[in-house]
Amino acid sequence: MKGLILAGGKGTRLRPLTLNTPKPIVPVANEPFLLYQVDLMRSGGIDEVILSLSYQPRKIEDLLKDGTDYGINIRYAVEGTPLGTGGAFKNAEEHITTTTVVFNGDVLTGLDLSAVIARHKQTGAVATIVLTPVDNPSAYGLVETTPDGQVQRFVEKPGPDEITCNTINAGVYVLEPSVLQYMPKGEPYSFERGLFPTLLERNELVMSYILDKYWIDIGTPSKYLEVHHDILAGRFMSTRVPSSAFDRSAIAANVSIDAKSILDADVTVRSGALIENSVIGRNCKIEEGVQIVDSVIWPGTTLDAESRVKGAIVGKGCYVGRSVNLRPGVVLGDKTVATDFSQL
C-alpha cells in the first residue's frame, strides 16, 4: 500500500507566511507540518509516500530528501502547473499501482489510519472518504451517507433548508487504482467535484469513515494559530511535538515562562520577559521586559525591549522594535520590521 500527499498548493489563504515557505513545511510546534502527515502514514503501515508538488518544490525536496531520515521511502511527482486534487493524483499515475491513501496537504488529524484502511478492504469499495462532523455545516460541502456508511450524495455549501447531515469531507481518502480510468490526464481535475460524483454516477461503491478524533485544516492564519493552542493544551497529541529545548533552569529569576510554552534551541530570553502559551522558534532573541502571549514566533526573530505580542504570528527573521504592540490577529511575514513604538 502506498500514500500520496497533495502538497502542491500555493497556500494563498495562509499568506504572507507562505510567500517564502511552502505550506506543507510551515513549522507547527517548530516541526515541519508535513512530518506530522508522514508520521500518520507510517502509523497505517505505509512505507512509501508520493509527494505531489508544484509550488517551490525544491524547498520540500531539500528538506525531506528520500525519506530515509524519517523512516519512509519518499518519491516526488512535480506538476508543471497546478492540477487540483484529482489532477495531482492522476499526474502521479505511474507510481499508483496499488491501493493508495491520499491526504490533503493542509489537514492535521489524530485519525486511526489503520482502522480506515481495514474498513476500506472489508467493504470492497473503490474509494473510502473520511468524514468529520462540524458544528456549522453550511460553510462546507456536505456528504450524505446511508446508515451503513455508503456515500449517496454531495451537497456543496447548502442553504439552511438543505442541511441533512453534519458530516464533511475531511481530506483523507483510500483509493483503488481503478478510479484512474475516470480521470483526465494533464488537466485540472477535482476529487470533490469530479471524481467522487462520477464514481456515484457509474454505480461504483464509495464508502465513508466517520472521524471521531482531532481534525483541523491549518490553511488560514487563524486556524494555524488555533492548532498551536490545541497542541499546547493537549487537545492534539503526537510524538512529533517536541518538548521545549530551552533550559528553564538557567533563566533569570525575574523571567516567567509557563510550563506549556515550547521554546526551540538557542533562544535568548532577557530579564523581565514573560512567555505564556506560545511557541518560539530557533535562534530568537527575546529582550528585556518583552511579553509574548498566545503567539507563534518563527526562527531568527528579535523582539526588542518592552514589546508586547498577543495572539499574533511572527514570521522568520523579523525585527519587532522597542515597545511595539502586536495585537491579536496580526500576522507578520518573513523579515518584517516593526519600528519602535508601533501599534499594529
CA–CA distances in Å: residue 168 to residues 145, 147, 175, 210: 11, 16, 18, 9
Which domains does the chain possess?
Answer: 2-232 (3.90.550.10), 248-338 (2.160.10.10)
Distance CA 338, CA 324 (A): 7
Return the pLDDT at 159. 67
Backbone angles phi, psi at 92, to 5 degrees: -95, 20
pTM for the predicted model, two decimal places: 0.89
Distance CA 128, CA 85 (A): 16
Return the pLDDT at 91. 85
Asked whether 243 and 279 are in contact (CB, 8 A), the reply is: no
Q: What angle do CA 299, 300, 301 make, to 5 degrees?
A: 95
Distance CA 209, CA 128 (A): 7
Distance CA 284, CA 270 (A): 11
- Nearest Cα to Cα of residue 112 among 67, 174, 52, 69: 174
Return the pLDDT at 316. 96
Q: From the first residue on, what is the mean pLDDT of each consecutive set of 10 residues in the chain (344 residues)?
A: 86 87 90 92 91 84 87 85 84 88 90 94 94 77 85 74 77 93 87 89 93 90 95 89 73 86 91 95 94 97 97 97 96 96 95
Residues with a known catalytic role:
157
Residue 208 C-alpha cell reads as: 465513508
Name, in order, each residue with C-beta under 8 angstroms of 244's C-beta and a sequence gap of 6 or more.
Answer: 261, 262, 263
